[in-house]
Structure 1
Amino acid sequence: MKGVDTIARIRREHFVRGKSIKEIVRELHVSRNTVRKVLRTGATAFSYEREVQPLPRIGPWREALDGLLAGNEGKPARERLTLIRIFEELRSRGYEGSYDALRRYAKGWRRAQATMTAAAYVPLSFAPGEAYQFDWSHEIVLINGTTVSVRVAHVRLCHSRMLFVRAYPRETQEMVFDAHDRAFAFFKGCCTRGIYDNMKTAVDAIFVGKERAYNRRFLQMCSHYLVDPVACTPASGWEKGQVENQVGLVRERFFTPRLRVKSYDELNAWLLDQCITYAKGHPHPERREETIWHAFEAERPALVPYAGRFDGFHAVPASVSKTCLVRFDNNRYSVCASAVGRPVEVRAYAERIELRQDGRPVGSHPRCFGRDQTIFDPWHYVPVLARKPGALRNGAPFKDWVLPTSLDRVRSKLAGVTDGDRQMVDILTSVLSDGLPAVDAACAEALHQGVHSADVILNILARRREPAAPVTIITPDALRLRHAPSADCSRYDLLRRSP
């Protein structure tokens, strides 16, 4: 089974560079059937079940180890620690890997440090549609009266210098996917190469030189948009200097003085307008006779056409409590009552949460970025009400439940009836089979007739569900009347006088 990096390269060689199947087979040393499968299915990954999953020990400790090595290199030669001492220090912090793994990592780290050049730079030039640069920044804004540190995604086209920025609550992988999709939709295309730093949402491991072990989901996104990702050398921001400069420009022009907005939607709409205004009002840094917007319009035909939205989610498994709740990101979300007792998959998008069980959706909610909050969908608990109708009055999911007008009026009238909870539960249960519009229309018809009983509403639903078939009587031609009969009442009188 080919990895997503090979699949991505096959797609780029065919769709971007226009190479034939035969050329791709000869260059990449893959079978013809594999290339055909990749091109015909349009898939960005082929999965299979692995029997043994490697678990590298040094990965979670990479940042701590980099800090120890960097601090050790900054000391005088007589005061530097040996690798054994560094290994013992890391072990005291909880590292469970081997010394050999640390030694190999340290050797590669030193080699990477030795390859760093002096503070001299070479000006770069990019062809239309060749590359873009991506980065994050942290900004302070006032959202609905509260001071918030937002994460701003920056995308910059290297040729035209066109910029795109969007604010998010986090820097997680699903936010990376959403930022790329919105940027490419705005540009109406993307470049063939993307330049990144070594962010954890994209790079799993750093090797010598430019070799990287990219995240699987990140590679799938790049394959979807036909992008070839390139990561910078660690601590070498000048390799993506354009977007680094954009961070300072956006902070100075867009976020100073401190912005005051009501929501993220308002903030992002304002940022997009500012990007367009800046591009139309400022000249290109190299071609001063034209604006950035004009250069962007000229670059658009060279971009790879926008491939549509990538299904950019971050999936994690989760268990379902007996109260039909799933915990994710310090908050709780409700699922269908039928999902209790088995694990579900949480698919986190930038703006929503989807919950699936065995590939079947069991819940969907707008994403919440607070802490210790519970997001209910009352319809998830309706099947439970059939066994516990008393929970309708005091159940937490049903507090401030907004129902359609007619259904809400029926609920108010049944509140004063002895068995009103049971009748209301019967009406709500019918929504699962007949749909909310049909039940609301039945309630409206019952209220128009001056009744609000559950039996009447369910009877109306049954009649609408199974309308009476029209009766059509077909008379044979032999039995059809040729002349209409005439009325003769005297014949009736004769019958009365007969003995």
Structure 2
Amino acid sequence: MDVLPEIRRLHFVEGVTISDLAKQFNLSRPTIRKHLNTVEEPVYPTRQHQPHLKLGAYIEQLTNWLETDAVLPGKKRKRTAQRLYECLQVEGYVGGYSAVQRFVKAWKQARSSTPTIKQAFVPLLFPAGETCQFDWSHEIAVVGGMEQTVKVGHFRLSHSRQMFVVAYPCETQEMVFDAHNQAFAFFGGVPKRMVYDNLKTVVDAIFVGKERRFNRRFLTLANHYLFEPVACTPESGWEKGQVENQVGNISEWLFTPTPKFSDFAELNAWLAQRCRELALRPHPDQRTRTTADLFAEEQPLLMPIKAVFDGYVETMRRVTSLCLINIHRNRYSVPAQWANQVVSVRVTAGKIRMVANGQVIAEHARRFGRDHLICDPWHYLPVLEKKPGALRHGAPFVTWDLPVPIKVIRDRILKQDKGDRAFVALLQMARDLGDAGLDTLEVACDLTLQTGVISAAIVLNEMRRLTEEAKPKALDQSAVSLPTLTIEPMADCSRYDALRSERHVH
């Protein structure tokens, strides 16, 4: 349509022939004649059906995926057009993304005609090293062979757009602390401001405007790293729109389809690696540079990490007569001497520590779920001294994963007369040897098995022999020159007689 006025002007005003116009505009003469007779804007027929040349063989597969995703609960579990395009590429599709996008859009419009209302926002600009945004999301993953909802902590540096995500079984306060430790270690520094929703683990009370009362323990974290905590206005997610957008993208990029991992450590290692890979994509604002390029410039401007925050949540608990403390529906053992007493419990993302008199008296790896019994058999050794029969059916000892030689010796000794007390004596000696005690007991049991005579006394003798200090070697007098006596002392008994003859007046 743009060339029509020019063609008509050249022909009717300047007298250019049809042949010359065809050569000048690289068009056929019939087309030139048609344009000369055109006065109104031409109307072209609209194509009612879009042909799918390369997509045609995959339409059935794509439709099945869309129908499968449509019945999934929640928007986060549904694949976007971009994700479906990537899945089709795995299946062998070599066409473009636009064809997939048009098909997905038409399919969704055919199912729903509800209009969407869009909002307008103001573009924001953040200085390097100043602001980081935080948020939680709930994703579906298979961890340890079981599908479950994992809580994912999201961090995003507002200047470089560098992201970091880490997953946990729950989003309690100790998980918030650990997530910050992990994120700051990943970034290699601390931003000056952290922006949050009004999380219960962060904000205790919301007042008028921006005034908040932050949680005291959370303020300890902020004071440790020296960042300024900022809480958004309620129901105003656009105040931290970058991380809100990241939540949706991560759900699409990393959790669709559902990933599978053996444990949370493997999941988080994979998430950290994917964050590094995604940083190689073009920056949203500076398309000629990657997110990693801007992060390399921003990282030196972050505040340095002088020490890692000990992110525990502390409570006071009473130890039961079974030497156990109930923590989050699971029971953990404490040394027997603290039974029926109150101790302090410090809960972190991965550990449970019991503290009394300023000293850590017990430490366990944290277990998630319910009704787990986590016992350290050494905690119950003082009880065995008085009740050795508990060795046979006591839960800490039945589930104790001992080395094979110790198990064989234990089973043989328990069949002997007073075998309970005899094996308890072996455990007592192993405890007295400290960290190397169990290894020493294992070697002693192995040596005893080689003799063919099984007895607690023989095992004890082997343990003493293994742990006794080396005696100094005897001095070889033949190889050493000894001093010789030149003047021999003379015996004088008269001095003794003189003393007897003296009289002492009292």
One fold, TM greater than 0.5? yes
3-state secondary structure, aligned to 1:275: helix
Check the 8 A contact 1:134/1:155 in 2, yes or no: yes
Following TM superposition, by how much is the alpha carbon of 1:477 offset from its aligned partner in structure 2, in angstroms?
1.1
State the partner residue of 1:458. 460
State the partner residue of 2:444. 442
Distance 2:307 2:286 in 1: 32
Check the 8 A contact 1:339/1:362 in 2, yes or no: no
Following TM superposition, by how much is the alpha carbon of 1:120 offset from its aligned partner in structure 2, in angstroms?
5.8
State the partner residue of 2:330. 331
Distance 1:438 1:260 in 2: 41
Show CA shifts across 1:350-399 (max 9, x none). Answer: 11211122222222212111112211111211221111111111111112
State the partner residue of 1:267. 267
Check the 8 A contact 1:153/1:179 in 2, yes or no: yes
Distance 1:315 1:470 in 2: 55
Show CA shifts across 1:95-137 (max 9, x none). Answer: xxxxxxxxxxxxxxxxxxxxxxxx7643221111111000001
State the partner residue of 2:76. none
Aligned residue runs from structure 1 range 230-269, under 5 A: 230-269=230-269
Show CA shifts across 1:271-311 (max 9, x none). Answer: 2222111111x211111110111111121111112333210
Following TM superposition, by how much is the alpha carbon of 1:466 offset from its aligned partner in structure 2, in angstroms?
4.7
The reply on whether 1:170 has 2:170 as its aligned counterpart is yes
Q: In structure 1, what residue type is equivalent to 2:438?
A: L
Q: In structure 2, what residue type is equivalent to 1:139?
A: E
Distance 1:313 1:151 in 2: 18
The reply on whether 1:378 has 2:377 as its aligned counterpart is yes
Following TM superposition, by how much is the alpha carbon of 1:185 offset from its aligned partner in structure 2, in angstroms?
0.8
State the partner residue of 2:483. 477
Check the 8 A contact 1:150/1:167 in 2, yes or no: yes
Q: In structure 2, what residue type is equivalent to 1:340?
A: A
Show CA shifts across 1:14-41 (max 9, x none). Answer: xxxxxxxxxxxxxxxxxxxxxxxxxxxx
Q: TM-score, normalised by structure 2?
A: 0.68
- Please list every run of at least 4 consecutive aligned residues from structure 1 whose deviation after the TM superposition is greater than 6 angstroms: none
Distance 1:430 1:212 in 2: 58
Q: In structure 1, what residue type is equivalent to 2:238?
A: W
Aligned residue runs from structure 1 range 299-448, under 5 A: 299-434=298-433, 435-448=437-450
State the partner residue of 2:216. 216
Number of equivalent positions:
361
Distance 1:233 1:478 in 2: 98
Distance 1:196 1:179 in 2: 13
Distance 1:462 1:248 in 2: 64
Q: In structure 2, what residue type is equivalent to 1:330?
A: R
Q: In structure 1, what residue type is equivalent to 2:425?
A: D
Show CA shifts across 1:443-487 (max 9, x none). Answer: 33433444442223333444534544545478741159xxxxxxx
User: Taking structure 1 as reference, are residues 461 and 261 closer, same or farther at Cα in structure 2, changes over 3 Å only?
Assistant: closer
3-state secondary structure, aligned to 2:362: strand
Distance 2:449 2:146 in 1: 46
Check the 8 A contact 2:191/2:227 in 1, yes or no: yes
Following TM superposition, by how much is the alpha carbon of 1:432 offset from its aligned partner in structure 2, in angstroms?
1.5
3-state secondary structure, aligned to 1:455: helix
Following TM superposition, by how much is the alpha carbon of 1:147 offset from its aligned partner in structure 2, in angstroms?
2.4
Check the 8 A contact 2:413/2:456 in 1, yes or no: no
Show CA shifts across 1:415-446 (max 9, x none). Answer: 33222222111101112211222333333343
Distance 2:481 2:402 in 1: 52
Distance 2:441 2:359 in 1: 25
Distance 1:120 1:277 in 2: 31
Distance 2:226 2:131 in 1: 12
Distance 1:218 1:144 in 2: 31
3-state secondary structure, aligned to 2:386: coil
3-state secondary structure, aligned to 1:153: strand
Distance 1:479 1:409 in 2: 63
User: Taking structure 1 as reference, are residues 449 and 477 closer, same or farther at Cα in structure 2, changes over 3 Å only?
Assistant: farther
3-state secondary structure, aligned to 1:305: coil
State the partner residue of 1:490. none
Following TM superposition, by how much is the alpha carbon of 1:251 offset from its aligned partner in structure 2, in angstroms?
0.9
Distance 1:439 1:146 in 2: 39
Check the 8 A contact 1:352/1:364 in 2, yes or no: yes
Q: In structure 2, what residue type is equivalent to 1:205?
A: A
Consecutive unaligned residues of structure 1, counting only runs of 5 or more, are 1-118, 481-499
3-state secondary structure, aligned to 1:290: coil
Q: In structure 2, what residue type is equivalent to 1:237?
A: G
Consecutive unaligned residues of structure 2, counting only runs of 5 or more, are 1-118, 487-506
State the partner residue of 1:82. none
3-state secondary structure, aligned to 2:363: strand
Distance 1:475 1:325 in 2: 67
3-state secondary structure, aligned to 1:386: helix
Check the 8 A contact 1:319/1:343 in 2, yes or no: yes
Q: TM-score, normalised by structure 1?
A: 0.69
Distance 1:469 1:462 in 2: 17
Check the 8 A contact 1:155/1:243 in 2, yes or no: yes
Q: In structure 2, what residue type is equivalent to 1:257?
A: P
Distance 1:475 1:340 in 2: 64
3-state secondary structure, aligned to 2:269: helix
Show CA shifts across 1:335-359 (max 9, x none). Answer: 1111112111111111121112222
State the partner residue of 1:191. 191
User: Taking structure 1 as reference, are residues 341 and 470 closer, same or farther at Cα in structure 2, changes over 3 Å only?
Assistant: farther
State the partner residue of 1:229. 229
Distance 1:299 1:386 in 2: 62
Q: In structure 2, what residue type is equivalent to 1:299?
A: E
3-state secondary structure, aligned to 1:189: coil
Distance 1:369 1:460 in 2: 41
Higher gyration radius (CA): 2
Distance 1:316 1:196 in 2: 26
Show CA shifts across 1:60-90 (max 9, x none). Answer: xxxxxxxxxxxxxxxxxxxxxxxxxxxxxxx
Distance 2:285 2:202 in 1: 31
Check the 8 A contact 1:224/1:307 in 2, yes or no: no
Distance 1:401 1:192 in 2: 49
Is 451-460 or 246-255 further displaced after alignment?
Answer: 451-460
CA RMSD between the two structures: 2.0
State the partner residue of 2:74. none
Check the 8 A contact 2:163/2:275 in 1, yes or no: yes
